[in-house]
């Protein structure tokens, strides 16, 4: 396990001075935290901390979710780590997650203000990362207004068109899975959010957002950068030998700034010329203008929420759909069963529609199992405890970073027997009608976050994935690719669980129309 200690020399221009400052900071924060611990209540169990550095060596920088799951197997569903005055609590059971994030949500809804992502990279605009308070509530209210369950069906027409566009991409370029999915996700989110039609290749908006999200995925995981544990390191000049995190943060900050500003400014200019199509941004700006002048605060609020739509949806859609393709490739019997259900309900002379959804329970079960088998954000965004708490006889100090380990929850054999097997039948019981009926008390809800910080765009996101997988299975067969000798290439499912978003490790596959009728159906979507 690679540890943070390996990277400690990156910021060392004067080792002796740095060591002295580190020791002082660690001792000060340790004494400050120790004073608040009530007598008789121990911290939750966890690996024994070392002198001065605590559990620094126990915090992984790669494959975090699996490492944390191993700790849970050793210490239980609550695992406590502490390093340099920072406390981290790992939650690896759905019951405990519900007790803390749902039933004690007023105390477990804050966010860690990462010096790397907030101060250096410019993600302080994101209400997903904001502290729990009035500013966060204003942003959430605007976001929820446009993406609440009752509004979600209004996006069905554009989601259907984009699903058909994805079919055409696979027909033209069946081997470029990642590129096709990224272009498709970007096309949808840019249309919905800004009314912007992206270019088929080398789109500037997509490129800059990709750069911004690359940094976000790396910086969100606790332990990725030492500056999150020793905040004064953010003041180290970029020219200091081996202070590479400052250069990377500057590059990512430039991308974040452009991602937030450029498409928003395009909409504003189009509204001035009367050419702006309806979108999340133009609708909100028009609504505010009808009530009076749009203040700078109003504009920034809309700009912030719009940028988060892209950040929250594009990468997660790519991860979910690539996991779906991998599942169908490695479990052909499940693919065949889903196609049989589609053929019996939809037939072979048209493509699936959202109105077919309630009649396709096995397809909905496949989507649920995709989310469980490879959760998009296996560790989610960490919560922070606002006030000292005692849970099950354990003391949890204020300021503790609390991580809901969705990967661990979804691999809990007591809830999901044989968890590494892709098995949609586990969701075919009575009452399992689809994600639109998923309650916060269902363990699968962990795929969307917890409590008051659960993903507010989940309804639009899961509907886009559903229509995409229904459309793909109705007209394509997903089969093994062939090697130079014409032999099927065996694929073993593997996932890259480093950073915020979990993707399948790249794999070979073949995707071909099921027959000529299916090819014609795909080609005819160009005319619609």
Q: Residue written as tokens 């058909």?
A: 164
pLDDT for the residue 120 = 87
Distance CA 28, CA 35 (A): 11
In 3D space, the residue among 7, 11, 46, 51 whose CA is nearest the CA of residue 30 turns out to be 51
Q: State the pairing for strand pair 495-496/503-504.
A: antiparallel
- Rg of the chain taking only CA atoms, in angstroms: 24
In 3D space, the residue among 224, 202, 2, 269 whose CA is nearest the CA of residue 120 turns out to be 224
Is residue 313 a part of any domain in this protein? yes
Distance CA 129, CA 143 (A): 14
From residue 248, how far is each of 13, 231, 244, 362, 414 by CA, in Å? 18, 16, 6, 45, 42
**Which 3 state secondary structure label does DSSP give 8?**
helix
Q: Which residues contact 107 (CB under 8 A, 6 or more apart)?
A: 385, 386, 387, 389
Which two tokens mark 54? 């605590």
Phi then psi dihedrals of residue 342, to 5 deg = -60, -45
Query: Which H or E element spans position 74?
Result: helix 64-75
400: left (phi over 0), alpha (psi -120 to 50) or beta: beta
Distance CA 472, CA 478 (A): 9
pLDDT for the residue 249 = 86
Is residue 5 a part of any domain in this protein? no
pLDDT for the residue 391 = 96
Q: In DSSP terms, which residues pair with 477 in a beta bridge?
A: 512
Q: What is the DSSP letter of 103?
A: T
Alpha helices in 107-226 (DSSP H): 134-147, 156-172, 177-194, 204-219
Is residue 13 a part of any domain in this protein? no
Query: Which H or E element spans position 394?
Result: strand 394-396
pLDDT for the residue 443 = 85
Answer whether 169's CB lies under 8 Å from 182's CB: no
Q: In what order do the strands lie in the sheet with 383-384?
A: 78-83, 86-91, 401-404, 383-384, 110-111
pLDDT for the residue 214 = 82
| Structural domain harbouring 91 | 38-525
In 3D space, the residue among 121, 118, 154, 124 whose CA is nearest the CA of residue 139 turns out to be 124
Is residue 14 a part of any domain in this protein? no
Is residue 8 a part of any domain in this protein? no
Q: What is the DSSP letter of 54?
A: B
pLDDT for the residue 242 = 66
Alpha helices in 225-273 (DSSP H): 244-273
> CATH code at 489?
1.10.630.10
Distance CA 139, CA 312 (A): 14
Q: Which residues contact 333 (CB under 8 A, 6 or more apart)?
A: none
pLDDT for the residue 39 = 58
pLDDT for the residue 27 = 47
Phi then psi dihedrals of residue 276, to 5 deg = -75, 125
> Residue 107, Cβ neighbours under 10 Å: how many?
19
Contacts 24+ apart (CB under 8 A), 267-274: 267/194, 267/195, 267/196, 270/195
Distance CA 345, CA 358 (A): 10
Sign of CA dihedral 177, 183, 188, 189: positive
Is residue 25 a part of any domain in this protein? no
Answer whether 528's CB lies under 8 Å from 517's CB: no
pLDDT for the residue 16 = 39
Is residue 217 a part of any domain in this protein? yes
pLDDT for the residue 14 = 39
Q: In DSSP terms, which residues pair with 391 in a beta bridge?
A: 394
> Residue 389, Cβ neighbours under 10 Å: how many?
18
Distance CA 78, CA 44 (A): 6
Which two tokens mark 507? 């794999």
Q: State the pairing for strand pair 86-91/401-404.
A: parallel
In 3D space, the residue among 183, 241, 245 whose CA is nearest the CA of residue 210 turns out to be 183
Answer whether 415's CB lies under 8 Å from 94's CB: yes
* Maximum Cα–Cα distance across the chain: 74
Number of domains in the chain: 1
Is residue 501 a part of any domain in this protein? yes
Q: What stretches of 309-385 adopt beta strand conformation (E)?
A: 383-384
Distance CA 62, CA 79 (A): 18
pLDDT tens, per residue, the chain with 528 residues: 333 332 333 333 334 334 444 444 444 444 444 445 665 799 999 999 998 889 988 988 778 888 898 999 999 999 999 987 889 999 999 999 999 999 999 999 999 888 888 888 888 888 888 899 999 899 988 888 888 888 888 899 999 999 999 999 999 999 999 999 999 999 999 999 999 999 888 888 888 888 888 888 777 665 678 787 778 888 888 777 767 888 888 888 899 999 999 999 999 999 999 999 999 999 999 988 888 888 889 899 999 999 988 877 888 899 999 999 999 999 999 999 999 999 999 999 999 999 999 999 999 999 999 999 999 989 888 899 999 999 999 999 999 999 999 999 999 999 999 999 999 999 997 666 667 667 777 888 888 888 888 888 888 889 999 999 999 999 999 999 999 999 999 999 999 876 678 899 999 999 999 999 999 999 999 876
Answer whether 78's CB lies under 8 Å from 394's CB: yes
For residues 216-249, b (16+ Cβ closer than 10 Å) or e, as one string? bbbbbbbbbbbbbbbbebbebeeeeeebebbebb
| pTM of the predicted model as reported, rounded to 2 decimal places | 0.87
Distance CA 488, CA 508 (A): 10
| 455 known ligand binder | yes
């Amino acid at each position: 396990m690679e540890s943070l200690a390996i990277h400690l020399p990156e910021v060392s221009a004067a080792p002796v001075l740095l060591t002295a400052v580190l020791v002082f900071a660690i001792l000060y924060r340790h004494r400050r935290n120790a004073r608040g611990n009530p007598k008789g209540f121990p911290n939750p169990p966890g690996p024994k901390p070392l002198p001065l550095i605590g559990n620094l060596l126990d915090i992984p920088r790669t494959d975090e979710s699996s490492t944390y799951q191993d700790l849970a197997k050793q210490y239980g569903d609550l695992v406590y780590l502490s390093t340099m005055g920072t406390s981290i609590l790992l939650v690896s059971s759905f019951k405990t997650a519900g007790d803390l994030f749902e039933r004690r949500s007023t105390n477990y809804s804050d966010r860690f203000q990462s010096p790397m992502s907030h101060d250096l990279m410019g993600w302080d605009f994101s209400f997903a990362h904001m502290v729990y308070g009035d500013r966060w509530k204003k942003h959430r209210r605007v976001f929820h207004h446009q993406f609440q369950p009752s509004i979600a069906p209004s996006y069905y027409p554009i989601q259907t068109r984009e699903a058909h566009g994805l079919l055409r991409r696979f027909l033209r370029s069946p081997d470029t899975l990642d590129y096709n999915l990224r272009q498709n996700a970007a096309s949808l989110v840019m249309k919905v959010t800004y009314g912007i039609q992206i270019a088929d290749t080398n789109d500037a908006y997509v490129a800059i957002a990709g750069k911004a999200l690359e940094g976000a995925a790396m910086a969100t995981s606790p332990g990725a950068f030492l500056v999150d544990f020793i905040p004064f390191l953010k003041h180290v000049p970029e020219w200091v030998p081996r202070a590479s995190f400052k250069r990377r943060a500057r590059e990512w900050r430039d991308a974040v700034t452009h991602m937030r500003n450029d498409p928003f400014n395009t909409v504003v200019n189009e509204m001035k010329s009367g050419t702006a199509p309806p979108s999340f941004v133009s609708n909100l700006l028009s609504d505010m203008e009808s009530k009076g002048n749009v203040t700078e605060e109003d504009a920034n609020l809309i700009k912030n929420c719009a940028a988060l739509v892209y950040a929250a949806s594009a990468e997660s859609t790519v991860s979910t759909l690539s996991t779906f393709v991998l599942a169908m490739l490695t479990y052909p019997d499940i693919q065949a069963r889903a196609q049989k259900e589609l053929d019996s309900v939809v037939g072979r002379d048209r493509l699936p529609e959202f109105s077919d959804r309630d009649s396709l329970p096995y397809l909905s079960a496949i989507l649920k199992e995709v989310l469980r088998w490879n959760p998009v954000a296996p560790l989610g965004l960490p919560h922070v405890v606002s006030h000292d708490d005692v849970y099950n006889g354990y003391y949890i100090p204020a300021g503790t970073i609390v991580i809901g380990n969705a990967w661990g929850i979804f691999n809990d054999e007591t809830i999901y027997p044989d968890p590494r097997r892709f098995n949609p039948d586990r969701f075919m019981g009575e009452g399992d009608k689809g994600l639109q009926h998923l309650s916060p008390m269902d363990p699968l809800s962990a795929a969307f976050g917890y409590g008051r910080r659960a993903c507010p765009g989940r309804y639009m996101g899961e509907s886009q994935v559903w229509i995409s997988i229904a459309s793909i299975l109705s007209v394509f067969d997903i089969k093994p690719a062939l090697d130079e000798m014409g032999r099927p290439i065996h694929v073993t499912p593997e996932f890259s669980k480093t950073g915020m978003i979990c993707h399948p490790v790249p794999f070979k596959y073949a995707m071909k129309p099921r027959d000529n009728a299916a090819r014609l159906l795909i080609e005819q979507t160009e005319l619609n």
